[in-house]
Chain A
Amino acid sequence: MSEFLNQFKQLTATGYLFWVLAILALLSAVWVVTARNPIHSVLALIATFFCLSGHYILLNAQFLAAVNIIVYAGAIMVLFLFTIMFLNLRREDEESKTNLTKMAAVVVGGLLMVMLITIFRAKSAQVPTFNPVSFDSRTGLVENLGSILYSDYILPFELASVLFLVAMVGAVMLGKREAGDRHF
């Protein structure tokens, strides 16, 4: 215990921020799963995304942090909230949560956890530790990210954009009203 306390005292400001953010992220992530009301779940998920963005900023990846907020917290979660409000799930719909679905959720979640732990513990996937010689604090900034995306990773980047285009066209096709459809 005293060892832990000593370590805690030696942390820098960044270290304290990391711990606070990590605890907040874990708490809000647990809240997402345990909240009875889906709206509360969504709000907790937004809080989780904010904590993750904080971590990105601590890692000096400002662009990633901003895009995380814009795309996830700003667009996708608004749509989630929107849909849940439309569905009006205020009464806790317990009938959809049968034992079978709960068991399936536990099995899938457990499998995912085992898989993630194996991946992170694999020797080949070990992330190199901090090296002050080769360390560049500007790696995560938007200029470097842009030039890497458009030089070394141009093919995956373009493939992802084609994927987005296809998804967009698909969404428009699904949303299109055909002749004879009911006019809302």
Chain B
Amino acid sequence: MDLTVLLVKGLIILVIFGITLLIATYSTYAERKVAAFLQDRLGPNRAGPFGLLQPIADAGKMFFKEDFIPAQASKWLFILGPCLAMLTALMSSAVIPFGDSIRLAWDGTNYDIPMQAIEINIGVLYIFGVVSLGVYGIMVGGWASNNKFSLLGAIRAASQNISYEIALGLSLIAILMMTGSLSLRAIVNEQATFFEWNVFTQPLGFIIFLTCAFAECNRTPFDLPECETELVGGYHTEYSSMKLGFYLFAEYINMFVSSAFISSLYFGGYHYPFMNAVHDGLTGSLGEIAGHNIATAIGTVVFFAKIFFFIFFFMWVRWTIPRFRYDQLMNLGWKSLIPLSILNVVVTGAGLLYDIKYTTWLIVVVMVVLALTSNARAPKSQAAPQRA
């Protein structure tokens, strides 16, 4: 029995690994297509139909480039950097619940195999741990390059990640208070009804989490570590060939994983409205096992649709919003997001004391009113006289 469990788990982990890599590969293609769409261009369309073979062509190019290690670099750490970046990026998808469960009949008994690599009761802490390790790949690589631009990029990445981790963790704490569990599956199952999705009960926490997720992934508008106008290439200035490819690829994996976390923490994961009715209808018409599996498959498809929307959102923002200045980044993190997330935790706690789930809307309303009044009271800029 032990061996069977191990085999099944191994298979699930392998499948999740493959899906993660596939989606990350095609995110690079999607990024270029979305960029082209937003800038009114065509984007990649030469390799294969619609340019669909472009990621494979890119990977081939990366592998055949010269793999250069600078003479003054610390060689092993230089190699370790991209490895760590990939490792931490791939580790985090282990606790995502991709769907309900697959039901198998074997010898007259039903086995439910959850669509999740590992179900641990500290899932959220696991994510948080892996996220906090993500910075090592960048720091080690940036330092080992022995280049001032790389070092500056690495230091920027480290300080940015540390700063935004705090707000990320505090916005997660509000969710943990709502659910009372650290298990990701429990958090997803808590959001079974549509209006109890955490995005409705925790609107402010969602905004903070989303902003911090952008910062943790080093995506625009927070891509200061690789800011080419100031730092040439940032932490990967000295990298070439597939080592550079790993750094870039790790960013896309991180993007996929954070989209998955946002969807499961705030958008109900594999839940969708009228899910129970669909499940009952399917099990009624197709039988217990087939119906359950098809209902699970629909849930998984819904979950992936949510993930793809957030991946698109990441790209949308990247090609819309310009980069922050470094002091603006720090001010936003320390002076706005952290106080707001502490306030969010306090107000959520007060609401839970009286069993009201939607108290954080109060902060949102107050913030909107404050923004409107300050906007109305701000001195109007004189309209320049029209030239005759």
Q: Mark B95-135, 1 if CB is under 8 A from A, else 0.
A: 00000000000000000000000001110011011011101
Name the B residues within 8 Å of A85 (CB-CB): 139, 143, 151, 154-155
B77–A39 touching, CB < 8 Å: yes
B133–A69 touching, CB < 8 Å: yes
C-alpha gap A85/B129 in the complex (Å): 23
Question: Which listed residue (B121, B136, B165) contacts A142, Cβ 8 A?
Answer: B121
Task: Please tell me if A108 contacts chain B, counting CB pairs below 8 Å.
Answer: no
Question: Which listed residue (A62, A67, A79, A141) contacts B162, Cβ 8 A?
Answer: A79
C-alpha gap A46/B133 in the complex (Å): 10
* Contacting residues of chain A (134-148) with chain B, CB-CB under 8 angstroms: 141-143
Task: Please tell me if B158 contacts chain A, counting CB pairs below 8 Å.
Answer: yes
Name the B residues within 8 Å of A24 (CB-CB): none
* Contacting residues of chain A (147-182) with chain B, CB-CB under 8 angstroms: none
C-alpha gap A24/B162 in the complex (Å): 28
Name the A residues within 8 Å of B24 (CB-CB): none
B158–A81 touching, CB < 8 Å: yes
Task: Please tell me if B159 contacts chain A, counting CB pairs below 8 Å.
Answer: yes
B154–A66 touching, CB < 8 Å: no
Given the contacts A62-B121, A74-B133, A43 and B140 also touching, CB distance less than 8 Å? yes
C-alpha gap A143/B122 in the complex (Å): 10
Task: Please tell me if B182 contacts chain A, counting CB pairs below 8 Å.
Answer: yes
B129–A141 touching, CB < 8 Å: no
Q: How far apart are B156's CB and chain A's nearest CB, in angstroms?
A: 11
Give the interface SS of chain A, mostly helix, strand, loop or mixed.
Answer: helix
Name the A residues within 8 Å of B165 (CB-CB): 74-75
Given the contacts A69-B133, A74-B132, A82 and B159 also touching, CB distance less than 8 Å? yes
Q: Mark A69-97, 1 if CB is under 8 A from B, else 0.
A: 11001110011011001100000000000
Question: Which listed residue (A37, A66, A73, A143) contacts B125, Cβ 8 A?
Answer: A66
B125–A46 touching, CB < 8 Å: no
Q: How far apart are B148's CB and chain A's nearest CB, in angstroms?
A: 10
C-alpha gap A82/B143 in the complex (Å): 10
A70–B132 touching, CB < 8 Å: yes
Q: Mark B157-176, 1 if CB is under 8 A from A, else 0.
A: 01101100100000000000
B132–A141 touching, CB < 8 Å: no
Task: Please tell me if A18 contacts chain B, counting CB pairs below 8 Å.
Answer: no
**Residue of A at shortest CB range from B183?**
A142
Q: How far apart are A46's CB and chain B's nearest CB, in angstroms?
A: 7
B158–A82 touching, CB < 8 Å: yes
Q: Mark A35-47, 1 if CB is under 8 A from B, else 0.
A: 0010100010010
Task: Please tell me if A63 contacts chain B, counting CB pairs below 8 Å.
Answer: yes
C-alpha gap A86/B155 in the complex (Å): 8
Q: How far apart are B15's CB and chain A's nearest CB, in angstroms?
A: 24
A81–B139 touching, CB < 8 Å: yes
Given the contacts A62-B120, A82-B155, A85-B155, A70 and B125 also touching, CB distance less than 8 Å? yes
C-alpha gap A37/B144 in the complex (Å): 12
C-alpha gap A67/B126 in the complex (Å): 9
C-alpha gap A74/B161 in the complex (Å): 10
C-alpha gap A37/B136 in the complex (Å): 17
Q: How far apart are B122's CB and chain A's nearest CB, in angstroms?
A: 5
B158–A66 touching, CB < 8 Å: no
C-alpha gap A182/B125 in the complex (Å): 41
Name the A residues within 8 Å of B155 (CB-CB): 82, 85-86
**Residue of B at shortest CB range from A40?**
B77
C-alpha gap A43/B76 in the complex (Å): 12
Name the B residues within 8 Å of A73 (CB-CB): 129, 132-133
A62–B158 touching, CB < 8 Å: no
**Residue of A at shortest CB range from B182?**
A142
A141–B121 touching, CB < 8 Å: yes
B136–A69 touching, CB < 8 Å: no
Name the A residues within 8 Å of B133 (CB-CB): 69, 73-74
Q: Which residues of B contact A (CB under 8 A)?
A: 74, 77, 120-122, 125-126, 128-129, 131-133, 135-136, 139-140, 143, 151, 154-155, 158-159, 161-162, 165, 182
- What are 27 A-to-B residue pairs whose CB atoms are below 8 Å? A39-B74, A39-B77, A43-B140, A46-B136, A62-B120, A62-B121, A66-B125, A66-B128, A66-B129, A67-B125, A69-B133, A70-B125, A70-B128, A70-B129, A73-B129, A74-B129, A78-B135, A78-B161, A81-B136, A81-B139, A82-B159, A85-B151, A85-B155, A141-B121, A142-B122, A142-B182, A143-B121
Q: A66-B128, A85-B155 are in contact. List 14 more A-B contacts (CB 8 A).
A: A39-B77, A43-B77, A46-B136, A66-B125, A70-B125, A70-B132, A73-B129, A75-B132, A78-B158, A81-B136, A82-B158, A82-B159, A86-B155, A142-B121
Q: Sort A-B residue pairs by CB-CB distance and give the 4 closest, nearest first.
A: A74-B132, A66-B125, A69-B129, A70-B129
